[in-house]
Structure 1
Amino acid sequence: MRIKSILAASGASLVLAACTTTANDMDMASTSTSAAPMADAGDMGTAKPAELASLIDEVEIPYEKFTLQNGLDVIVHTDRKAPIVAVAVWYNVGSKDEPKGESGFAHLFEHLMFNGSENAPEDYFQYLQEMGATDYNGTTNFDRTNYFQTVPTAALERALWLESDRMGYLLGAVTQQKLDNQRGVVQNEKRQGDNQPGGLVFYEIIKALFPAPHPYDHTPIGSMADLDAATMDTVQKWFRDNYGPNNATLVLAGDISPEQARPMVEKYFGPIARGPVNEPAMAEITELSSDVRTVMKDQVAATNIAKYWTAPGMLDRELTALTVGTQILGGLASSRLDNALVRDEKLAVGVSAGNFSFQRVGILNVSATARPGVDPALVEKRLNELVADFIRTGPTEDEVRRAATSTVSGTIRGLEQVGGFGGKAVTLASGEVLADDPDYFAKQLEILATLTPGEVQAAMQRWMTRPSMTLVLEPGERDGTYEEAASVAAAPTSAEDAIAEEQITVTKIRPKPPIAGTAELDFPDVQHVTLANGMRLNYAQRDAVPATYVTMSFDAGSAADPRDKRGLESLALGLFDEGTTTMSSQQIAEARERLGASISTGGGVDRSSFTLSSLSANLVPSLELMSDIIRNPAFADAEIERVRNQQLTGIQQELRTPQSIAARALAPLVYGADNPYGGPGSGTTESVQSITRADITGFKDRWIRPDNGQVFVVSDRPLNEIVTALNAVFGDWQAPNVAKGTKSFGSMAAMPTEPRVVLINRPNSPQSFILGGQRTPVDPREPTYVDFLNANNALGGNFLARLNMNLRESKGWSYGVRGAPQTNENAVGYVISAPVQADRTGDALAELIRETGDFLDSNGVTDAELERIVTAQIGELPGQFETSGAVLGAMQQNALYGRPDNYYETLAARYRAQTGESLDAAVRAAIDPDRFVWVVVGDASVVRPQLDQLGLDVEVREMGQ
């Protein structure tokens, strides 16, 4: 689980999603698995949820901590379930510590620290891939900067060498050219976020709640002007002041003991000299003198009304009470706002509430998105009334317990992961750096276990009766002028200048240690059983946590939608848990929360699925709830209209969001408008409005039935218990007396014989979104599919691929570029996506065309690329299937494409047999550089003149066409 789910409430609103800046693109754990016995499958009607106290007993992360003489704090947690170790380095510095005129420096330096150090001068992703690392990244927020990667145990020493080199030996490798390039990348990251609907809102919130001078008066991404002003002297001083070992914490979690770890840590980090210690900036909890109201316009589908209050930070005793209070108010599926505004009164299509807590301060938030056609003033009035009523009356005991159980169950299900954004390493590091206590999460759980309704009410009364900021975001053109960068990275004037600018200084030679072998993947054994209802059960046992994951997958997906009823599958799936013949949608939501269960729908274009994530102690009642949802949906007319309005609003938002605009335009051009893969899965306004209740019940009867699906289970419980439980709950499920559904793919669209461009005009866009695609003859069932994937890893498949290294790392025109297969059961497309700064749209598209053409013509996979890619793919295999969720997904992929159960265990041998020639042959048989259709979403007044210079056929469309 991500620690944020304890420290900040779920249900984050759109505008607060920007609180944490991640550059380049939190799990509480226990070694204990002694869960309470699973309820007897024969006691379905009387099975009760496990007690909250017993659930909390499952949550612990045993660790040892020691400190080096230079001040580096080291925390080690042992978890032997897989031959991998999570490595996390947290620096006690964030954007709140930036002086005036240097906003964005912490984040800018996070980028620079991925650009090479004195003994590892290449992009760090090069070294991470050599190690077979997974879950690697770096992030910056108001309070800290962190770096993390999960590596095979045999590569741990290499990982420690790498992290220590950028901690102690970085500055000699920071050149002016790297600074200019990463400044451009960060500015494009800012443009990319700001270009989204609502992307400018968070700046207004911060400005109103924490007016300057205040440590939290600016966002981590910084201002364009301050990024322009960054010089070599200022960024080097920033590093010297903040990145010493005594301002850092190293956490190792996984296949390692403290006794094994200490000598390696001493060897690589011990010689690094101490530096200054950053004393995190103190910050008062500001209070508005009176209520503030701001109205903004943007490319949003419906009006959003949001209210914000300043609050205490994460170290305050009231943190947990405020978090639970906002969950009950608008974070849970059963929340007060959901029940009143969305379900009963149908004034809103969505609501949220959250407690967004930083180290020193927090922000309480409630919001509602008005249903189109409803007066936003009425929504705002009811929102204020409901908040006031909650503060006046407080929550019930049942609401508090449900919120607590939901939090704890999410924590338990996250026990498997050692690293990544939300693993054990991050949890320990966060507590140590921000609260001076690695066990901070456990103390929050202790408070949660005994929290009373009175404590929640008192906290809400204290903080949500103070003056607030109301921000109304309305559909329309943006107001004001967008902040743009003044600087342009200066290209070297000559080859000699380029070499001089890239010259690095090595202050101490530190040879990289060898990687001590390669671990082989041991994919869990998969067993197959036929259930009493005839469904095939695919089962794998994983006992790291007391949890069970169940997916019922049906051969449907959006490809099952009739041509004139697109969006039917999406609408139907959205209705299954909105009321059954015996339970209302509110009762279903409350039952899930009492059980600590998650039941979600999805599946994609080829399959429709229902996935249960359950505590094993609560498996039987959770399965009972899942069965009722799948087998007995009421499809009540009122619920159909409510969910239809939500889907229609979502469609309108897709028509305003750059990535979605491009995807909706590209699909029919690649697959054909009449092909099942050629239409948007969410449908169109016209198609969704035409869907009737008979269409929805017909979809269920034709597609969601036991003779059209399979069951996939990953659990800590043995197979016989799982079979007994499934048969008890689903064994009597019979197929209806109607024919199963059939899909018709028909003919595909004719592909162009030369590239063409469709420009969709989205005025006032600081970035353009480029999406190019074509259909390929690739078959995912054939062995050469793996060759195609690895060839693409050289062209567009990862950070080091040529397309990204060109437009991001070389030119700084984009935050990130990817090329990837669009793999479906009956067709495989290939898509290149590139968000680029508006004034470089034409140049960027020209580079994409040139780079792709060169690669497919004569400049194929090099020996160095082959070695890097194969090494990475083999090394990553053990880490890819660390969690039950990953195993569950892999089992479904194997079933979809008819692969053997041990498919992933066979990949290492396939990778080792690959050659440059075999990869070139695979990718050149798949992609034709002359058959790309390029969709560009941007401001036509800026972009069209650039595209005209390329000599391509350009068709201009307006948004919504």
Structure 2
Amino acid sequence: MRNLSKLTVLLASASVLAACAPSARVQSAAVADLTAAVAPAIPPAPPVIQAAPVSALVSQVAIPHTEFKLANGLTVIVHEDHKAPVVAVSTWYNVGSKDEPAGKTGFAHLFEHLMFNGSENLPGDYFTYLQQIGATDYNGTTWFDRTNYFETVPRGALERALFMESDRMGYLLGAIDQSKLDNQRGVVQNEKRQGDNRPGGLVDYEVLATLFPGAHPYHHDTIGSMADLDAATLATVKEWFIDKYGPNNAVLVLAGDINAAEARPLVEKYFGAIKPGPVNNPAQANVPTLPATKTIEMKDHVAAVELQRHWAVPGINSPQLAAIDLGGSILGGLASSRLDRILVRDEKLAVSVSAGLQVFQRIGLFEVSATVKPGVDPAVVDKRLDEIMADYLANGPTEEEVARAATQDVAGRIRGLETVGGFGGKAVALAEGKVFTGDSDFYKRSLNQYASVSAADVKAAMQQWLGRPAFKVNLVPGERPPYEEAKGGKAKGKDIPTKKTPRVMPAVAQTPPLDFPNVTHTTLSNGVQVHYAQRNAIPTTQVALSFDAGYSADAVSGRGLQNLTLNLLEEGAAGKTSQQIAEEEESLGAEVSASGSADRSTIILGALSANLSPSLDLLRDIVERPDFNAPDVDRVKTQTLTAISQAQKEPNSMAARALPALIYGENHPYATTGLGQVAAVTGFTPDNLKAFHSTWLRPDNMEIFVVSNLPLAELQPQLEQRFGTWTAPATPKGVKTFSAPPARPSAQRIYLIDRPGSPQSIIYGGQLTGINPYGEIVPYSGANEVLGGNFLSRINMDLRETKGWSYGVRSSIALNVNAVPYLINAPVQADKTGESIRALNNDLQIMLNKQGVTQEELTRLVSNNVDALPGRFETSGAVLAAMMANDLYRRPDNYYELLADKYRGLTRAGLDQALKTAVDPNGFSWVVVGDAKQVKPQLDKLGIPVEVIQPK
């Protein structure tokens, strides 16, 4: 949890600022100096649309709940939501990395990992027990201010979940030993390598170290240092737990199919006997101001220069929260933002920009960045960025900009509240408010701030906080300095003796069967099919326009045309500019996204039902009437070419771009990725885009999928008005031509891509299978789940949990409609690359030839998939995706209701046979992206041919 991009917490949605700043007189002078070089930039007049006011949207948001406290200090919050027979269980501990003293950085995060490794009465991995009860949306995270664990469980498994959470709260220490500490230390260090290995992955350390003095609680990153992790002893980590993880330092939220009267005795039963510990008083922290602007240059594997500015700002309790958050959105967070309009669209000096604020308990982090257009002098962009910001600080936003930003923010929160738990949802909103502000109703107070903030408020807040000196980071293409690795020695020390306390685990009640929404099929007057389902949890409508295209519709010489066409749809349509389209979306609280898979091109509208009619008008313009103006095409082409260049430097993307041609053959329609190839994208013209649109994105090649709280009788006339009159071009629609892929190889081969200085290698293997995507896939997916499809799979448990060489390993079956590959992805520490491929091959051989699926694996597989079904379709988005998958793979509408019996009918022999039929252990092509000097000698020892290839 170390990415310092905009924080996606539901509670404050993005940002915050306010506190120790220079005097107002000094700030005003600074603003005056900066603004002298530029005249005020007045945004163009937006189109006049009728949208619900922000105050009306806010009035729809409510999370009624009951709060009580146990005698031992545990705070409990209960929210009822009976839309599905599931309950979100979210446990938040008031401790994070800001509470770590010197020499113990990374301890909070390390202990989060250890708390998944079994408790006194639940030995082994906690994921085992979560999958046994059909949990969904389960994980744990650590950040500067808190550690949390969460799972959404079937109503009948709630008591078991409470037992589990209470056991790791009160009965954990007796289960922690030196081997677990050593293993999870290795896993965390590989998580650190994985993050550090990404382009720009080392910037966070410099930002925190510069903005916050050495003794400041936010001075160090949550992941910690290699040295401190190496130095952790069993006694020190146990002392950390004793001091920080007592019930009086925690908040437990239960949200879903439960009420307070039912919840209280259960919580008392399982948590009441846990003794309180010391109260963690979260570290206080001021908001430092740099004495002067500081600029550094960092080299990394980036495609273009990125100019960044960073400020430390106040935390979540600031009365200026909404003003600074919305100010960041207007500056560079929205698609219509000032920086987007000026630097990207109008002056074409940058290929992308961003601005936004992360909010934490004591402080916030505000960042502005611009990726320089290749060929443009970075100094020109740097100067222009300063001028635009100075103008913005001096003049502030318009009221209309503030209203658009607030509408987008509130609309996002409404969508997020459809879930009861997980990484967002209602449980998160309640827990964050209680832990960070002492008020579980903080979400409502925050929303009211967003509904009432004015342009003057934003202007004042921007001047106060962004008028101060910034930390500037210029991230430029080049070779990094040598990576600082772990010392290799793991500290040992005395243990703290712990007496185990036996407890009886409760039974799990039967989970009710899934009741998937009824799907209605109808047809518009022009023959377009409409598939509709109703969901009433939140007042939103999702409309997906699905075209039988995808990147397999691209010609071999024109790879990337589908992607570029989709990216241009919102860049000008029906005479509206991209700026006007962005502003209209934001005013409506709508989200329009276009994406392409191997087989389909899809445009999805997420709309507030109160604003559905104008949102559909906008969608119609974007899809039916794109302009493809030459200046917009040139601009987006440059962005795409920069993205391709970056993909040729990012390790996972490098592997993903190389493998398809190796398994499908160079000329196969699937032998690419959506971004395409440089030569093809460079040559595309507006006429090419118009031809793709008229050939593939047309009504006779389209189906519409809708999930809404509105009845079909109200929706269908609106769809008919926008899409029922759309006439197909006279020219024939597109037809894809699939040649036969090459035969699966009879011997493995390794393709090595050199990426010097990488502390981690990416291993990406694949082979084609004979799986029929329209046939019965449950035996194949079930067998894959055992081998590599989830956390408890054999290859993940081997390379991560047993050997500690990886942060996570997975395998998957890609259900393309014309060829189905089996894929394995394994990021591993560089010095274990060769051994990891050997281990993967050994795991494959054992699974296929020596020890197939065990009874325990089968039992867990069935329970996990059957009991999890009611929790899989909590959101409209999940229902929409399921409807589209059923259509693509020619399944019945009630397919997911049939899955329980399909899983119950699985046998060990059937699963073994399915995997043997699909996968040949000798048929893998392996792409390895890593430091060739370190990696190739390891690979040469495997007895597998190794070929060094260039990035695609």
Q: For the superposition of Structure 1 and Structure 2, which TM-score range results when normalised by the shorter chain?
A: over 0.9
User: Counterparts in 2 of 1:359-374, with a 5 A limit?
Assistant: 359-374=361-376
Q: CA deviation at 1:352?
A: 0.2
Further displaced range: 104-113 or 53-62: 53-62
Q: Is 1:884 paired with 2:876?
A: yes
* Kept after mapping to 1: 8 A contact 2:87/2:152: yes
Match of 1:171 in 2: 173
Separation of aligned partners in 2, 1:507 and 1:388:
62
Cα distance 1:708–1:540, how it changes in 2: closer, same or farther (>3 A)? same
Separation of aligned partners in 2, 1:403 and 1:488:
51
Q: CA deviation at 1:504?
A: 10
* Amino acid in the other structure paired with 1:9: A
Match of 2:103 in 1: 101
* Kept after mapping to 1: 8 A contact 2:655/2:927: yes
* Amino acid in the other structure paired with 2:609: S
Q: Is 1:770 paired with 2:757?
A: no
Match of 1:7 in 2: 12
* Kept after mapping to 1: 8 A contact 2:156/2:508: yes
Cα distance 1:5–1:472, how it changes in 2: closer, same or farther (>3 A)? farther
User: Counterparts in 2 of 1:125-144, with a 5 A limit?
Assistant: 125-144=127-146
* Amino acid in the other structure paired with 2:555: P
Separation of aligned partners in 2, 1:766 and 1:690:
37
> Of 286, 293, 302, which aligns to 1:291?
293
* Amino acid in the other structure paired with 1:470: K
Match of 1:630 in 2: 623
Match of 2:485 in 1: 484
> Of 803, 824, 832, which aligns to 2:824?
832
* Amino acid in the other structure paired with 2:488: S
Separation of aligned partners in 2, 1:112 and 1:372:
45
TM, length-normalised to structure 2: 0.95
> Of 791, 810, 813, which aligns to 2:805?
813
> Of 900, 906, 914, which aligns to 1:922?
914
Match of 1:686 in 2: 679
Match of 1:466 in 2: 468
* Amino acid in the other structure paired with 1:946: Q
Separation of aligned partners in 1, 2:279 and 2:832:
41
Q: CA deviation at 1:185?
A: 0.2
> Of 443, 446, 451, which aligns to 2:445?
443
Cα distance 1:474–1:164, how it changes in 2: closer, same or farther (>3 A)? same
Match of 1:939 in 2: 931
Further displaced range: 866-875 or 412-421: 412-421
Q: Is 1:347 paired with 2:349?
A: yes
* Kept after mapping to 1: 8 A contact 2:768/2:822: yes
Separation of aligned partners in 2, 1:586 and 1:459:
25
* Amino acid in the other structure paired with 1:340: I
Q: CA deviation at 1:6?
A: 5.9
* Kept after mapping to 1: 8 A contact 2:231/2:490: no
Separation of aligned partners in 1, 2:898 and 2:451:
46
* Amino acid in the other structure paired with 1:743: K
* Amino acid in the other structure paired with 1:587: Q
Separation of aligned partners in 2, 1:6 and 1:673:
48
SS of 2:868 mapped into structure 1: helix
> Of 752, 758, 774, which aligns to 1:759?
752
Q: CA deviation at 1:567?
A: 0.2
User: Counterparts in 2 of 1:150-165, with a 5 A limit?
Assistant: 150-165=152-167
Separation of aligned partners in 2, 1:702 and 1:945:
50
Separation of aligned partners in 1, 2:325 and 2:407:
13
Q: Is 1:675 paired with 2:668?
A: yes
Cα distance 1:47–1:387, how it changes in 2: closer, same or farther (>3 A)? closer
Separation of aligned partners in 1, 2:658 and 2:114:
36
Match of 1:40 in 2: none
Match of 1:620 in 2: 613
Match of 1:561 in 2: 554
SS of 2:103 mapped into structure 1: coil
* Kept after mapping to 2: 8 A contact 1:183/1:228: yes
Q: Is 1:48 paired with 2:50?
A: yes
User: Counterparts in 2 of 1:327-342, with a 5 A limit?
Assistant: 327-342=329-344
Q: Is 1:420 paired with 2:422?
A: yes
* Amino acid in the other structure paired with 1:878: P
Match of 1:195 in 2: 197
* Kept after mapping to 2: 8 A contact 1:174/1:504: no
- Unaligned 5+ segments in structure 2 are 1-5, 17-46
Match of 1:185 in 2: 187
SS of 2:814 mapped into structure 1: strand
* Kept after mapping to 1: 8 A contact 2:596/2:674: no
Q: CA deviation at 1:511?
A: 1.2
User: Counterparts in 2 of 1:550-949, with a 5 A limit?
Assistant: 550-783=543-776, 785-949=777-941
Match of 1:21 in 2: none
Match of 2:271 in 1: 269
* Amino acid in the other structure paired with 2:921: P
Cα distance 1:693–1:375, how it changes in 2: closer, same or farther (>3 A)? same
* Amino acid in the other structure paired with 1:803: I
* Kept after mapping to 2: 8 A contact 1:3/1:427: no
Q: CA deviation at 1:50?
A: 1.2
Instruction: Map Cα deviations across residues 229-266 of structure 1 (whole Å, 9 max, x no partner).
Output: 00011000000000000000000000000000000000
Q: CA deviation at 1:2?
A: 8.5
Q: What's the RMSD between the two structures over aligned residues?
A: 1.6
Separation of aligned partners in 2, 1:8 and 1:291:
28
Match of 1:20 in 2: none
Separation of aligned partners in 2, 1:162 and 1:181:
22
SS of 2:77 mapped into structure 1: strand
* Kept after mapping to 1: 8 A contact 2:15/2:359: no
Separation of aligned partners in 2, 1:629 and 1:275:
58
Separation of aligned partners in 2, 1:369 and 1:612:
28
* Amino acid in the other structure paired with 1:684: Q
SS of 2:389 mapped into structure 1: helix
Instruction: Map Cα deviations across residues 911-943 of structure 1 (whole Å, 9 max, x no partner).
Output: 011000011111110000000001110001000
* Amino acid in the other structure paired with 2:912: D
* Kept after mapping to 1: 8 A contact 2:528/2:724: no
Separation of aligned partners in 1, 2:134 and 2:622:
41
* Kept after mapping to 2: 8 A contact 1:3/1:441: no
TM, length-normalised to structure 1: 0.94
Q: CA deviation at 1:744?
A: 0.8
Cα distance 1:931–1:800, how it changes in 2: closer, same or farther (>3 A)? same
Instruction: Map Cα deviations across residues 355-405 of structure 1 (whole Å, 9 max, x no partner).
Output: 112111111111100011111111111111111000000000000000000
Separation of aligned partners in 2, 1:285 and 1:366:
18
Separation of aligned partners in 1, 2:204 and 2:866:
42
Separation of aligned partners in 2, 1:253 and 1:572:
43
Q: CA deviation at 1:691?
A: 1.4
Separation of aligned partners in 1, 2:83 and 2:255:
11
> How many equivalent residue pairs?
916
Separation of aligned partners in 1, 2:614 and 2:666:
44
Separation of aligned partners in 1, 2:846 and 2:62:
53
Q: CA deviation at 1:505?
A: 6.4
* Kept after mapping to 1: 8 A contact 2:355/2:368: yes
Separation of aligned partners in 1, 2:448 and 2:688:
49
Instruction: Map Cα deviations across residues 52-110 of structure 1 (whole Å, 9 max, x no partner).
Output: 21111011100000000000000000000000000000000000000100000000000
Instruction: Map Cα deviations across residues 160-219 of structure 1 (whole Å, 9 max, x no partner).
Output: 000000000000000100000000000000000000000000000001101201100100
- Unaligned 5+ segments in structure 1 are 12-44, 492-499
Match of 1:950 in 2: 942
Q: Which runs of 4+ in 1 moved over 6 A?
A: none
Match of 1:302 in 2: 304
Cα distance 1:652–1:97, how it changes in 2: closer, same or farther (>3 A)? same
Separation of aligned partners in 1, 2:537 and 2:7:
17
* Kept after mapping to 2: 8 A contact 1:2/1:411: no
Q: CA deviation at 1:9?
A: 3.2
SS of 1:823 mapped into structure 2: coil
